[in-house]
Structure 1
Amino acid sequence: MAVVTNTFQTTQAVGNREELSDVVSRITPEDTPIYSLIEKGKCVTVHPEWETDELAAPGANIREEGEEYAFGAITPPQRLGNYTQIMRKDWIISATQEVVSEAGNVQKRKYQKLKKGVEIRKDVEYAIVNSNASVAGATRELGSLPTWIETNVSRAPGGINGGFDANTGLTAEPTDGPQRAFSKTILDDVMQQGYQNGANFRHVSVSPYVKSVFVTFMSDGNVAPFRYAVSQGGERNTIVATADYYEGPFGTVMIHPNRVQAVGAGLARNAFFIDTDMLSFLWLRNIQEDRDIAKTGDADKGVIIGEGTLKVHNEKGLGIAADLFGLSAAS
C-alpha cells in the first residue's frame, strides 16, 4: 500500500540516536599449536649454539681372549646454532581519541596492547612453519623448521631438503617438488624413518585441509573401523567422521590442524612430525611493551617487541612430509 502523504519517516529525521554495540566481535583465531606445544627457554646472545651427539650404529662386537686393547677415535659432537629474530608490533593513538567515549574501546591503548601481543604470538608460529633460512647480521632471521629437517623426510621427486651447513653456520631453504596428495603411505613412511633414527614422534601439525584428508584414512581397508552412534539426548544420534590420533606400526601421534599453515600454499604444503623433547623456543627478550618511547606529540605511542629463536635440539628427532596439496585437492 502507498504511504500516506506527509508521513514523517526516519530518513527525514535529524535527531535519531545512533546505535553501535559495545561488543567487538573478533573472529581471528589465536591458537598457535606448535609454539604452544614446545618448551620455552632463555638465551643470552643473538646466536645461541648447542651440540648434538649420537651412538654408533650397532655391529658385531667379538673379541679374542687375551687380546691387547686398541683404542678407537672419538667423534666430536656437531655444533649447531640459530639466530634470534626481532618481532615488533606498534601503534599510535591521538591523546584525544584515547579519552573520548568509544563503543567497544577498540581504538584504545589497553585493547591494542592485548591485540598486538596476540599477533606477535601468531607471528612466532608463522616463523616456525615458514620455509625461511637463517640469516646473520643486523636484520637477523631465525632458521625455521623446514630449513633444519633433512633426515626423516618424505619429499616428492625433484624436491631438495634444507639443513644446517656447518661451514656457514646457517640453515638452507628447501627446494619444493611437485605437489602430491597426502596419504597413509606417506604418514607411515616418515614415522618409520623417525623410529629407525631414534625419534619419538607424538604430534603432527598439518593444514586444516590435510587434517580432512587424514580423516579419510578411516576408509582404508587396513585400518580398524570405529564407527559408532553418539547419543545427544532423546532419539538423536551423531555421525562421527573425525579422528585425532593415529596409532600405526611405529607409534601413536596426534594430528593437529594448524590454521597458521593455511595462510598460504607455501606453509600448507608441509606436515611436521614433532617430538617435543627435540624442539624449543628461546627468548632473548620476552614479548613485552617498550615503555621507553619518547613522547614527541599529542599522541600515545605503543610498541610490543620480542626477540627469540627456534632451537632444534636434534633434527633426527623431527620429521616432515613435504610437497603436499595443503589448501585443496589441487593446491
Structure 2
Amino acid sequence: MTATVAATKAYDISGNVLKEDLRDIIYDISPMDTIFMTRAGRGTAKSTTHEWLTDTLAAVNAKNAAIEGDAFGAVARTLPSRLKNYTQIARKDFEVTGTAQKTSNAGMRELMAYHTAQASKEIKRDMEAGLLSDEPASAGTSVSARVAAGAEAWIYAPNHISVNQSAATTTAPVSGFATSPVTDGTATAFTSAGLNSMLQQAWSMGGEVDTILVGPTLYNTISAFTGIATRFRDVGSRQQAQIIGAADVYVSAFGSHNIVLSRWARATTVFCLDMSTWEVAYLRPFQTVDIAKVGDAERKALLAEYTLVAKSPMANTKATSMS
C-alpha cells in the first residue's frame, strides 16, 4: 500500500521537533567484586608506618622429660618479630562546572553526585587489586607515592610453593618490611598434587586455609580436580535439575576450603589463604574532600589511606606462573 504523500511522517520531523527517546538510566556492567577486602578484617593505623608483632611456638619436643630434683636452668626465649607496612593513599579527583551541575542530565539528578558514586566504586577496585598484588613495600619520597606491600609480597619462602618448577621464590621481609620482588619461576600446569602441597605447607605452619583465591582460568582448572565437594547436588522431585560446571568447595586432608574467583588477582597466581590472618588497616577511612574552587567549578576528591596487615604470613601459601 502506498503512503499518503501529504501525511507528515516521523522521518520529516526527526531533526526538528521529534523528542529523543533516551532512557533516564545509565547501565554499567563494570565488575565491582572486592572479595579479599570484604573477607579480610578491618583495623586502624595511627601512622604512615604501621607495625605489628608475630610469633611462633618452639618446636614440639616429644621427649620433654625432666629429672626429678634437677636444678632449673636459664633458657633464652625467642622474642616476637616486628612486621611493618606503609600506608598507601588511594585517590580519585573530579570537578564539575557550575553550569554542568545545574543542567538536566539523563540517568542522574546531579553530575557531581554521579561522579562521587562512580569514583567510590573505582577506588575500591583499585584497592582490591593493590591488596592482592605482588607490589613490594615502598617508603616513598616527596615526589613518589608510598606503596603498601600486597598479599603476594607477604607470602614468602618456604610458603611460595614451587610446583614442578624452578626459580619460584619470594624472600622474607627485610627489617620487617616486605620489600623484595616476587620471582615467578617457569610457567607450569597447576595440578591437584600442587594444591595439596600448598594446603599441607600452610597447615604445617599452623594455618587453617579457608579460602583458595584464583583467577578464572585457574578456577576452571581446579574445578576439574577430584576432591570437589559440589560436583553433584541433590534436587527435589519437582525441582529443575542443575548442571554443576564449577567448584565451590575443595575438600582435602586439611579441611574444607572455599574456592573464590577473583577478577583482580594475577591470572597465574594461586592463593591458599587463612583469612583470619589478614586485615586492612585505615589511617584515613573513605572520605570525600572539598577542594578549593578554581574558577566556576566545584572540585572534590575521594580518598582512603590504608595498609595491608599480614598478621601471620606463614599461615598462607601461594604458587605463581600457574596455568
What is the TM-score with the length of structure 2 in the denominator? Answer: 0.89
* 1:9-20 equivalences in 2 (<5 Å): 10-13=10-13, 14-20=16-22
RMSD: 2.3
Q: Could you give the per-residue CA deviations for residues 33-85 of structure 1, whole angstroms, max 9, x where no partner exists?
A: 01000111101100011111111101222332322222211212211100000
| Counterpart amino acid of residue 297 in structure 1 | G
1: CA distance, partners of 2:97 / 2:166? 56
| Counterpart amino acid of residue 302 in structure 1 | K
SS for the counterpart of 1:277 is: helix
Query: Which residue number corresponds to residue 178 of structure 1?
Result: 186
Equivalent of 1:245 in 249, 254, 257: 249
Query: Which residue number corresponds to residue 303 of structure 1?
Result: 301
Query: Which residue number corresponds to residue 89 of structure 2?
Result: 86
Equivalent of 1:96 in 81, 95, 99: 99
2: CA distance, partners of 1:79 / 1:209? 37
Query: Which residue number corresponds to residue 329 of structure 1?
Result: none
The alpha-carbon distance between structure 1 residues 11 and 275, as it changes in their structure 2 partners (threshold 3 A), is same
SS for the counterpart of 1:238 is: coil
2: CA distance, partners of 1:98 / 1:225? 51
CA contact (8 A) 2:102 2:110 kept: no
CA contact (8 A) 1:149 1:318 kept: yes
1: CA distance, partners of 2:24 / 2:302? 25
| Counterpart amino acid of residue 87 in structure 1 | A
Query: Which residue number corresponds to residue 192 of structure 1?
Result: 200
CA contact (8 A) 2:211 2:258 kept: yes
Q: Could you give the per-residue CA deviations for residues 128-176 of structure 1, whole angstroms, max 9, x where no partner exists?
A: 1111000013321001111111132323312221431127x44211111
CA contact (8 A) 2:223 2:247 kept: yes
Query: Which residue number corresponds to residue 165 of structure 1?
Result: 174
* 1:1-331 equivalences in 2 (<5 Å): 10-13=10-13, 14-59=16-61, 60-105=63-108, 108-138=111-141, 139-150=145-156, 151-155=158-162, 156-166=165-175, 169-217=177-225, 220=226, 226-228=231-233, 230=235, 233=238, 236-261=240-265, 267-291=266-290, 293-325=291-323
SS for the counterpart of 2:56 is: coil
Cα distance, 1:238 vs structure 2: 2.6
Cα distance, 1:182 vs structure 2: 2.2
1: CA distance, partners of 2:228 / 2:86? 43
| Counterpart amino acid of residue 296 in structure 1 | V
Q: How many aligned residue pairs are there?
A: 314
Task: State the identity %.
Answer: 27
SS for the counterpart of 1:191 is: helix
CA contact (8 A) 1:106 1:112 kept: no
CA contact (8 A) 1:199 1:275 kept: yes
1: CA distance, partners of 2:232 / 2:36? 30
What is the TM-score with the length of structure 1 in the denominator? Answer: 0.87
The alpha-carbon distance between structure 1 residues 259 and 107, as it changes in their structure 2 partners (threshold 3 A), is farther
